[in-house]
Amino acid sequence: MSLALALLVGTYLIADRKAEADRTQLAVAQAQLVQTVSANRDFQSQVAQQLAQLQAQNADLAKALQARQSVEVKLPAQNASLSASQVAQGLGQGATASGDTIVLPLPLGQLALTDMQLVPMLQTDKAQLTTELANETQSLQLEKDAHTSDVKALQAQIDVDKVELKAEKALARRSKLRWFAAGVVVGFVGRAFAKV
């Protein structure tokens, strides 16, 4: 009887110490989780601020591009209505008008020729930059969506882990109670046999 009781008590003590070690390990893991969640929350906030800044910059670039396109559409019509003397005055740097003809000094003529040759390249650059801006804006939104999805998935995992932990604790308590009840029954049965 005393051997069975000693075995039962010993088993219980070993299980209790194991459970205590597990509780300590759980407390450490929970503390680490709190630190990780806090660091992640800070990081999420920082990323959200950076995303907001980038979106604001992209919005400003898009507005500037739209304003520039508006000017580009209006300029040819405005310049088409100018007289030769108004064009020469606009060009400055020694440009003169003679009837419908504008006479340019060689350096200004070279500059005008260069500007005319650069226009197609600049229009191509503008089109490519417009596409790049649209792609960057879309990439930024995709990154934001992916980040939000990651956060939701991690929060769901944390919630599942909490539920699992709670269930495991309940199972452990139930197991301890069963062992205690079994020990009590064994004790009463052992005592009954010892009297016989």
Tens-digit pLDDT profile for residues 83-96: 988 988 888 888 89
Using pLDDT thresholds of 50, 70 and 90, give the confidence band for residue 5: low
What per-residue confidence (pLDDT) applies to 4? Answer: 61
CA-CA distance, 183 to 4, in Å (whole number)?
9
What per-residue confidence (pLDDT) applies to 103? Answer: 92
Using pLDDT thresholds of 50, 70 and 90, give the confidence band for residue 62: confident
Beta bridge partners of 98: 101
Query: Would you say residue 126 has pLDDT above 60?
Result: yes
Range 76-83 average pLDDT: 87
What per-residue confidence (pLDDT) applies to 29? Answer: 76
Domain locations in the chain? Answer: 2-195
Percent of the chain with pLDDT over 70: 93
Helical residues (DSSP H) of the chain, grouped into ranges? 2-80, 84-91, 106-195
What per-residue confidence (pLDDT) applies to 1? Answer: 55
Query: Would you say residue 18 has pLDDT above 80?
Result: no
Range 130-135 average pLDDT: 86
Query: Would you say residue 34 has pLDDT above 70?
Result: yes
Give, in order, the Cα–Cα distances in Å from 103 to each of 80, 94, 98, 114, 157: 18, 9, 7, 17, 77
Range 161-169 average pLDDT: 84
Using pLDDT thresholds of 50, 70 and 90, give the confidence band for residue 12: low
Using pLDDT thresholds of 50, 70 and 90, give the confidence band for residue 8: low
Of the ranges 9-13, 26-30, 113-117, which one carries the lowest mean pLDDT score?
A: 9-13
Range 89-106 average pLDDT: 89
CA-CA distance, 170 to 130, in Å (whole number)?
60
Residue whose C-alpha is closest to residue 143's, from 13, 40, 55, 11:
55
The SS3 assignment for 82 reads coil
